[in-house]
Amino acid sequence: MIYLSIANQLRSRINSDEFQLNQALPSENQLAKEYGVARMTIRKAMDTLIQEGMLDRRHGSGCYIIDKEMTFENTGLNSLTEQIGKTTKTLTSKVISFSVIPCPSSVAQRLKISPGESIYYIIRIRSVDTHPVHYEESFLPVSLYPTLSVAHMEHSKFQYIEDEMGLVIEGNYFTFKPYLMPESIALHMEMTPGELAMQVSSISHAPDGRVLDYSITVENTHFHQSTYYYRRPSKK
């Protein structure tokens, strides 16, 4: 539905630096002209954001921003669990698929194992409060994690790897790319098929070079955004 797509676009703009808290949005007529839709479509989009608690409609004055979604600044490798743990928001992880499969060749290259080795293939939806923010596919070698269960994946994957298995995550390689949301994932993510999202591929490695985890995550940036700060090495 077009009003939901516009609500998502407005949400991203509200969460950006374009607008500040307590600032009024452009009028319904202005936004209708900007997006090339009827005024009632804009009103329905704004009603959606009012119900979410981001906007307040003030009679004769327009809609004002009363809340923004969280943006997280990362200066090191922090899991989503660690990010949300610093806030008053609630993180939930719903496992929708958990299976053991022979490792495909393309995945084996990333995990640095032999094709056909047993791996876990896990899909989970991670939500902040009531909003889905990550659709995550994880590939983990069974040989490293013989005790891994659905219950572990309903909590923190990093915590299981580090605290229960005693492994050290030295760092992650991330690859970011734009991603057009397919219908199969959009159904889980409160997004419309064909909408632009962010896909993040992540490879976690140990100090000895072993790959501990390979994940592909589709992020709903309407509800969750991260800022990465990288310090430039000194030339001295």
**Domains in the chain, CATH or no CATH each:** 2-65 (1.10.10.10), 71-228 (3.40.1410.10)
Of 183, 179, 221, nearest in space to 196 by CA: 179
Of 205, 219, 211, nearest in space to 103 by CA: 211
Q: How much is the pLDDT for 74?
A: 47
Question: d(Cα 164, Cα 144) in Å, to the nearest integer?
Answer: 12
Q: Are 49 and 86 in contact (CB under 8 A)?
A: no
Of 202, 156, 195, 168, nearest in space to 179 by CA: 195
Question: Rounded to two decimals, what is the model's pTM?
Answer: 0.66
How does pLDDT run across 31-69, given as a tens digit for each residue?
999 999 999 999 999 999 998 888 999 888 899 988 766
Angle at 107 between CA 101 and CA 109, to 5 degrees: 130
Q: How many residues does the chain have?
A: 236
Give percent above pLDDT 90 in the chain: 57
Angle at 192 between CA 186 and CA 195, to 5 degrees: 95
Q: How much is the pLDDT for 230?
A: 58
Q: How much is the pLDDT for 21?
A: 77
3, two tokens: 């009003």
Angle at 189 between CA 186 and CA 194, to 5 degrees: 30
Three-state secondary-structure class, residue 46: helix
How does pLDDT run across 88-134, given as a tens digit for each residue?
567 889 999 999 999 999 999 999 999 999 999 999 999 888 889 89
How does pLDDT run across 188-214, given as a tens digit for each residue?
998 889 988 889 999 999 999 999 999
